[in-house]
Amino acid sequence: MMILVGVDGSPASRKALRWALEQAARTGETVEATMAWLREPEYVAAVSMGVHPHGDRPDHRHPARELHAIVEEVRAEVPGAPEVAEVTIVGDAATALTAAARQADLLVIGSHGHGPLAEVFLGSVAADCVRHATCPIVVIPAHAP
């Protein structure tokens, strides 16, 4: 069996990854961590003078590196955690996770539900996945221990 986990760096997604790793450690399932991100438009001067506009700016996002760092950090917290396949996808998170879940046996996501009834209402990505995914889903709320 394959467990797909949506990871965006938030505390809720880290909890979801931890849950999936603990489950996989007990059952021998495989885990795939997926980070979907929207590429921001880049503006390049007409005459760049040979200098890339981003250079080594610390705020330039490298999703694959970010995902790898999160996976390694969370794996270190789970005794017997299996290896994790890491996938980064350019696109809307809900759409990407729903599509990737077609190949999974279970989708695990964290919920960013906000407001006074956050435990009742899912965040937008979680709600879309619950409505459209074709496999079972485990939703880990942000406030879960």
The per-residue pLDDT string of the chain (145 residues; one tens digit each, 9 = 90 and over) reads 899 999 999 999 999 999 999 999 999 999 999 998 876 655 555 555 555 555 444 445 688 999 999 999 999 999 999 999 999 998 888 889 999 999 999 999 988 755 544 444 566 777 777 887 889 999 888 776 6
* Residue 85, beta-bridge partner list: 32
Q: Where are the alpha helices (DSSP H) in the chain?
A: 11-27, 63-75, 93-100, 124-132
Of 12, 29, 3, nearest to 126 (Cα)? 12
Q: What is the pLDDT of residues 49-78, one digit of tens each?
A: 555 555 444 445 688 999 999 999 999 999
Domains of the chain: 2-141 (3.40.50.620)
The span from the CA of 31 to the CA of 20, in Å, is: 7
65 close to 31: Cβ distance less than 8 angstroms? no
The span from the CA of 12 to the CA of 74, in Å, is: 12
* DSSP one-letter code for 134: S
Query: Does pTM top 0.85 for this prediction?
Result: no
